[in-house]
């Protein structure tokens, strides 16, 4: 199962990234756990210095921006193949 962490304090961009992750996972029919990390003290431990942050299977994929739906889909597909 794919583990997705959306890191941020709950701002509109963080919410948009979480929703985008849900859409991509649903469209691809992938089994995934989507976790929202809102504890500021965990951000640096996860490698996120700017929000929103995105980790896929504990690997930082983006920070400080919302990736395009296409890029997110590609990242998720690559991890699913492994």
For the chain, which domains are there?
Answer: 2-81 (3.40.30.10)
Using CB atoms within 10 Å of the CB of residue 80, give its burial: 0 to 12 exposed, 13 to 18 middle, 19+ buried.
Answer: middle
- Closest C-alpha among 63, 73, 81 to residue 14: 63
* Residues that are catalytic: 11, 14
Supply the pLDDT for residue 82.
59
Supply the pLDDT for residue 81.
60
Supply the pLDDT for residue 13.
96
- Closest C-alpha among 13, 20, 14 to residue 72: 20
Each residue's pLDDT tens digit, 32-82: 999 999 999 999 999 999 999 999 999 999 999 999 999 999 999 998 765
Each residue's pLDDT tens digit, 11-25: 999 999 999 999 999
């Amino acid at each position: 199962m794919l583990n997705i962490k959306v890191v941020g304090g709950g701002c509109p961009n963080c919410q948009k990234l979480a929703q985008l992750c849900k859409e991509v996972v649903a469209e691809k029919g992938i089994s995934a756990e989507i976790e929202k990390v809102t504890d500021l003290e965990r951000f640096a431990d996860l490698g996120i210095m700017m929000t929103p942050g995105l980790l896929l299977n504990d690997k930082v994929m983006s920070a400080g921006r919302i990736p395009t739906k296409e890029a997110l889909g590609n990242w998720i597909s690559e991890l699913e193949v492994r």
